[in-house]
Amino acid sequence: MKHFASIGFWIAIGIIFIAASLEPDAENVLAGFHAIFPSAKSLAIIYSDTGSEAYVLKAETEAKKRNLAFKAVKIESFKDIPPSTRSLFGKIDTLWLVDDPMISQPDALNYLLLNSVQQQWKTIVLKDDWVRRGGLFHLTRGGEVVINKRILQFLKLTVPETKLKIRYYGEKEK
């Protein structure tokens, strides 16, 4: 309700907001991800916001089209993040961090990215900055793929030939 009150205030002073997710369409994200990492077998999304549910359902549909096992884990508070993350240990190979107000908080994001590296999960993230912080894969709204070179090497993954435009974060300039 706090967010609605805030939006009401801004409308009252003459500024109108149009809310839009920063996340590219789930179909495009998974198509790009699966083209580059076809060995992925299982995928989970941890989310809190009821506004994320439609996106999570679309992600589940797209995952099933690609024969990826899918698990959605809804959390109610920050305290749910550690046990929810631990519940995925040994059960998935990919974690997708979606546009969610609780997940995108710095402490939550750091915890999830650290566990992703420790568990050797491929991680689909929302922003370039999240790639810099330890995520593996990001698809920009413009269709460019951003990959964290250090995480790619740590996970001992390779990128096949593809028509996708790829930018590597962490690659030393020559």
The answer to the question of residue 4 being in a domain is no
| Residue found by looking up tokens 């961090």 in the block | 97
The answer to the question of residue 14 being in a domain is no
The answer to the question of residue 15 being in a domain is no
The answer to the question of residue 102 being in a domain is yes
The answer to the question of residue 11 being in a domain is no
The answer to the question of residue 78 being in a domain is yes
For position 30, what pLDDT does the model report? 94
The per-residue pLDDT for range 20-45, each reduced to its tens digit, is: 445 678 999 999 999 999 999 999 99
For position 20, what pLDDT does the model report? 43
Calculate the alpha carbon distances from 21 to 44, 64, 90, 108, 118 in Å.
19, 23, 30, 19, 29
The answer to the question of residue 157 being in a domain is yes
- The better pLDDT of the pair 89, 22 is held by 89
Calculate the alpha carbon distances from 123 to 1, 5, 75 in Å.
31, 34, 19
- For residue 94, the surrounding DSSP H or E stretch is strand 94-96
- Phi, psi at 95, each rounded to 5°: -120, 130
The Cβ of residue 3 has, within 10 Å, a number of other Cβ atoms equal to: 11
Number of domains in the chain: 1
User: Which residue segment(s) compose the domain that 89 sits in?
Assistant: 21-169
Residue 93's pLDDT band (cuts 50, 70, 90): very high
The answer to the question of residue 93 being in a domain is yes
Q: What pTM was estimated for this model as a whole?
A: 0.83
For position 12, what pLDDT does the model report? 41
CATH number where 78 lies: 3.40.50.2300
Residue 9's pLDDT band (cuts 50, 70, 90): very low
Residue 17's pLDDT band (cuts 50, 70, 90): very low
Task: Tell me what the mean pLDDT of segment 65-77 comes to.
Answer: 96
